[in-house]
Amino acid sequence: MTAGATPEGASLPGIRVWLGRLLTDLHNGRSCLWLLPRSMLKESGNRADRLLDDVLHELADFVLLPSDESPAPASARSLAPAAPPARGRWSGLAPVPDFDDGLPDVPAARGPEAYASRLAAPLGPAEALAGMLERLAKELGFSSGTDTVGSDPTGDVLARLTGRGTGTAETRPVVVRAWREPVPSAAAHLLRRLVATTKEAGLPPDRRPRALVVASTEDLPTGLPDQLPREDITVHWWWGATSRLDTATVVTLARPPLASPTDRGHLHEAVTQATITEVCGPFLDIAAALASRWDDGRPEGLTAALHDVIAKLPGPAAIPPQRTEGTRHPGRRPDDSMLAAWNANTVESWDGRLRRHPGYDLVQEQAVAARVWLAQNHVLLPLLDDARDQFTATIRLRARVPLARLAQDYGPRRESGTAPEPADSAVAMMELGAMWSAHCDGAIALIPAERRRLRILREARNLLAHRVPLDDDRLRRLVEELCR
């Protein structure tokens, strides 16, 4: 979503509902794994941080890792966790940011060489978890006394979270931005160890330590989300979080003011906004940009405007599978075959359907036209039905044959053996095409204005019934008739 141009985060209704489910789980004492597409964690402006801010705003208190107050320098992100210096000598472990790592006490002769060798070596899972918990202990104000130093320092910190030694468990959620950790997968190990330790302590929900880990599937071991104990950890996929109402809201706010605030102008604008919403789906940045770029709403100019918008925005980095869309329900999470596309933000769940990035519609013949038809059908079909209902009064007035015969010849077909509908009811159910046939056959006599209206209504209804979108001329004429 373009910064400053559209509402973001919890201000959108569908996203607010989605974040509310996450907060409910945290408030109920459950730990959560929040999975976001990798593209959201890398994009400029980092929408993931803004969404997380919305969640943190709703928490009474929390502990955040890595800490914002003293962010780790980039050069130190791959370092191993620190250990207290012993007898004035360096332990051999690289320092953890924000800690008194004892560097002043390192002898000048061996310090740089030892530091350089540690800098080149990648962290192991145990070291990464130990470093994370050491930083967590500092954030929580745990002392470094003998009660937290033993054969398993990691387990000691976790036990302190459950209240061992103090009798008071730490109930503030521990929020870990895994993508900012030196070893992101360590956050998943923290989640599992914390849940296991809490379970062993037998604490009730309102007294449990709990964690919220925000990560991408690329940060975690393959298949981990399916391996977590569902009774203790809730996995929240950023999948289907954006609703049709969210897209429509973004489009409405990004549209230029109406040049002609008449009924015709409002109806044409409604069709335009519905078209942008349908074409862009859950891709809010494209929806906002297209709403500004496609100012006249002419169907013939839509494809060119969409090309221009996509060319100016960051392009998709992965191509979704060929058959990613359909009528089946997209499920509660992306299939494994879609993970690469989901991480690249090129496939999403929206309005109960799988949706691909709008850029792929541009290379599929008739794909954009099909979405235009859906939008026009959504806005215009109810109005066409209302206009048909109203035109039955004209049919009764202009009939040149008895209503019973008009109903028999042009009314709705009935199954053999069923009783016929009363003539007045049958006329009320006549379709626009049957009315036109009655006019052509001389059964009704219409004046020129009525004939023109019926012809425009019938043509539009037939095209939409055959999945053909209205071009600019037909749309303009229909809007004029519907607004008379």
Determine the average pLDDT of the residues in 117-132.
74
Which tokens belong to 25? 């789980």
Residues 99, 76 contacting (CB under 8 angstroms): no
Task: Give the span between the Cα atoms of 281 and 373, in whole angstroms.
Answer: 14
Q: 3-class SS at 227?
A: helix
pLDDT at 116 over 50: no
pLDDT at 322: 53
Q: What is the CA angle 201-208-80, rounded to 5?
A: 85
Question: What is the enclosing helix (H) or strand (E) of 47?
Answer: helix 47-58
DSSP secondary structure, 164-183, as one string = TTTS----S-EEEEGGGSSS
Determine the average pLDDT of the residues in 456-482.
97
Task: Give the span between the Cα atoms of 398 and 445, in whole angstroms.
Answer: 5
Q: Which residues contact 317 (CB under 8 A, 6 or more apart)?
A: 39, 344, 346
Q: How confident is the model at residue 422 (pLDDT cuts 50, 70, 90)?
A: confident
Dihedral Cα 238, 54, 212, 244, nearest 10 deg = -20
pLDDT tens for each residue of 284-319:
999 999 999 999 999 999 999 999 999 998 766 555
pLDDT at 149 over 90: no
pLDDT at 125: 77
Q: How confident is the model at residue 93 (pLDDT cuts 50, 70, 90)?
A: very low
Residues 362, 368 contacting (CB under 8 angstroms): yes
Residues 312, 289 contacting (CB under 8 angstroms): yes
Residues 308, 362 contacting (CB under 8 angstroms): no
Task: Please provide the average confidence, as pLDDT, over all residues in the chain.
Answer: 83
Stronger pLDDT, 203 or 376, i.e. the higher one: 376
pLDDT at 316: 66
3-state class percentages of the chain: helix first, strand second, coil last, to nearest 5: 55, 5, 40
List alpha helices for 151-238, DSSP H.
153-161, 185-201, 224-227
pLDDT at 35: 96
- Which range has the top average pLDDT, 92-96, 120-124, 320-324? 120-124
pLDDT tens for each residue of 245-280:
999 999 999 999 988 789 999 999 999 999 999 999
- Which range has the top average pLDDT, 30-44, 107-121, 444-458? 444-458
Residues 282, 347 contacting (CB under 8 angstroms): no
pLDDT at 54: 93
In this structure, how many other beta carbons lie within 10 angstroms of the beta carbon of residue 359? Answer: 19
Q: Are strands 211-215 and 31-35 parallel, antiparallel or unpaired?
A: parallel
Which tokens belong to 56? 């943190």
pLDDT at 278: 97
Residues 293, 305 contacting (CB under 8 angstroms): yes
pLDDT at 320: 54
Question: What is the enclosing helix (H) or strand (E) of 211?
Answer: strand 211-215
Stronger pLDDT, 143 or 427, i.e. the higher one: 427
Peptide bond into 66 cis (omega under 30): yes
Q: Which of 67, 134, 125, 60 is nearest to 96 (CA)?
A: 134
pLDDT at 412: 85
pLDDT at 78 over 60: no
CA 474 to centroid of chain Cα atoms: 35
Q: How confident is the model at residue 227 (pLDDT cuts 50, 70, 90)?
A: confident
pLDDT at 101 over 60: no
pLDDT at 290: 97
User: What pTM was estimated for this model as a whole?
Assistant: 0.82
pLDDT at 99: 33
Amino acid at position 262, single letter: T
Task: Give the span between the Cα atoms of 141 and 138, in whole angstroms.
Answer: 5
Q: 3-class SS at 44?
A: coil
DSSP 8-class letter at 70: S
pLDDT at 1 over 60: no
CA 313 to centroid of chain Cα atoms: 18
Which tokens belong to 200? 């062993």
Question: What is the enclosing helix (H) or strand (E) of 33?
Answer: strand 31-35
In percent, the amount of the chain with pLDDT more than 70 equals 80
pLDDT at 82 over 80: no
Instruction: Determine if residue 154 is left, alpha or beta; phi over 0 gives left, psi from -120 to 50 gives alpha, anything else beta.
Output: alpha
pLDDT tens for each residue of 320-376:
555 545 546 788 899 988 999 999 999 999 998 999 999 989 888 789 999 999 999
pLDDT at 103 over 80: no
Q: 3-class SS at 466?
A: coil
Q: Max Cα separation, the chain?
A: 113
Determine the average pLDDT of the residues in 192-208.
87
Length of the chain equals 484
Alpha-carbon separation of residue 236 from 31, 333, 354 (angstroms)? 11, 9, 18
Beta bridge partners of 349: 354
